[in-house]
Each structure stands twice: as C-alpha cells, then as structure tokens.
Amino acid sequence: MFHRLVVAAALVALAAVSAPATARSAGDYAADLKDYVVAPLHWDGHEWRWAGGAALSVAAAYSLDNSVRDHFAAGGVPAGEDPHSARDAAPLALLTVGSFAIGVLRHDKRLTNTGLDMGEAVVLGTLSSFAFKKLAGRERPNETSSRGSFGSGGDGFPSGHTTAAFAAAQVFADRMPRDQWGWSALAYGLAGATAYARLDSNVHWVSDTVAGAALGIATGRFVSGRGGPGHSRVQFWVAPLHHGALLTFAIDPY
C-alpha cells in the first residue's frame, strides 16, 4: 500500500517539475484533498442515488464472496503474501505515466493534464481506500475462511489496487473525445482486469473489488469534475455464475 502511494505521489511531483506550464501548486492539491474529504456533504440527489446503487452492488457481491473464493482459492497464495502486487498495479500505472509522458513529448497540454489528473486520482483513491481499510479491518480470503471477518485488523476492504485502477481509468475515460469510445473501453477493461487479477490471486473477496471499483469511479469523477462534469458514464453490476460471479460494465460515452 505505502509503496503505491509513494509512486503515485512521485508521479504528480515529477509532472509538476517537468511541465510548469500545466502544473498546479501544492496549495491547489491541498484544496482538492479538503474538497474530496467533504464532498459527500455537497452531493445532490443523483450522486446519492449513484452511491446507493454502488452500496447495493457491494451487498450483492458480498452474498457471492464464498462461492467466488472457492472458485479461485486453488490458485491462491499463502496468508500474508501478495507476490503479484506490482504486476497487478502495472497496467493502469503504465497508462497514467504513458499519458503524461506522451503529452509532454508531443506538447499536448490536454494529454499532459490528463496524466497529471490520473496521478492525482490515484493518490486520492489510495488515501481513501487506506482509510476505509483501517475502519473496516477485514481479513483477506487467504487469511480467513470467513467473509464476515470485519474488525479483525485486516486490510482487505476495499481493494486498493482496484480503487486506484478505476480512479485512473475514470479520469482517462472522461478526458477522451466522445467519438473515440474505444479508449474508454480500454481503460475500464484494464481496471476490470486488475480486479480479476486480485481475485485470481485470492487476496481479495469479490465484494472488496466491487467496493474498490465504486470508490475509484467516484474518485475519478471528483477529479474530472474540477474542470467541469465528465461526459463518460459507466455502470456496473454483479451477476452470479455457477462457479463464481460475473462483473459486468456498461459504458455510454455520449
């Protein structure tokens, strides 16, 4: 967790140094953090309905935790180990760094700012997921066979990898041109693959990943909304399968 936060923070700092024409001050980022923390106090009806739908999705996923764990447990890792942490974080990290780097090389202010904002979304999402982990204290499926192991000092809920991945993906999707919906599909696809990888390693319950996806999308929308509302829309839900669950996404770029 800590090393991902350091990498994300370093990305934002590097961007500020490398692209002074588009950089924001430390005070701007501090103000964003404050606004992010109190954002729920200013939600409107639409945002509360979205939050309610996300909560229902997490509840539905919770009912499938045991069956999904049983499906993936054979390929799991011993308790206390997470050997694929860096691998699972790599796809969206590369998309974030790549967006910024290509923007700088091509003198494309829009793409450079997209990379900057993706980095900020990763930092905010990682911080918020860390806070929720501390509050929930849920053990991971490779640590316990009980899906209800909240308040046990664990760090499973929500999935930090999934939160960061969907936060970056949401910003990227919001900033891409409306008629180039394939880029949005790519970003959400990479984020979905991150969630699947966490399940495949048996280091998260499926409800951990659904909660992470919801938190990440909300974080990405917050960052995108600083400069006006984003235009992309994504909905997700969980459907049970015989030996697991299907996490489905619907993207409306218009």
- 4-48 pLDDT tens trace: 544 554 455 455 544 444 567 788 888 989 999 999 998 888 889
Q: Look at strands 233-241 and 244-252 and give their pairing.
A: antiparallel
pTM: 0.84
Residue 33 CA to residue 123 CA, distance in Å, equals 10
Q: What is the model's pLDDT at position 122?
A: 96
Smallest CA-to-CA distance from 100 within 122, 84, 85 is with 122
- Is the pLDDT confidence value at 254 over 50? no
**What three-state secondary structure class fits 122?**
helix
pLDDT at residue 55 is higher than 90:
yes
**What is the distance between the alpha carbons of residues 206 and 70, in angstroms, rounded to a whole number?**
11
